[in-house]
Structure 1
Amino acid sequence: MAIIINLDVMMAKRKIRSKDLAERIGITEANLSILKTGKAKAVRFSTLEALCKELDCQPGDILEFSKTQ
């Protein structure tokens, strides 16, 4: 897929664990894991907004487009 998910990078920069982030944004750890691994087929804007609020970042910090993939 040409969309790269950099959620794990942002989580490492903010020093937050999956369990804590999932709890703060109101999704399961399993769903957060699906997002982190890039296996998600879609992301709700409300989830993306919650991630950006908690990680203090922009959507472009989490999602990246690559022509080569």
Structure 2
Amino acid sequence: MNTLAEIEAAAESLPPEQKEELLRFLTARIHVAGEEPYKARLVRRDNDVLLEAPPGAPPMTTENVKRMLEDWP
């Protein structure tokens, strides 16, 4: 496999469990600079503040959300 199209075709042919494993693998390596992989984060879009929680992020308990809001600028 040498091209992105070949990689995408191979990924599409995987069973669901292996697609999830591939997603976790890629997410662990590609993340916003300075942030831990699998970490939920608050983002601002237009006039809204949204919570983005990628697969594998810790559960969004009341305590975790409060902690995130305390760190929000």
Tell me which of the two structures has the higher relative contact order, counting C-alpha pairs closer than 8 angstroms and 6 or more residues apart: 1
TM beyond 0.5: no
Max radius of gyration: which structure? 2
TM-score category, normalised to shorter length: under 0.3
- Higher normalized strand content (fraction of residues): 2
TM-score when scaled to structure 1? 0.24
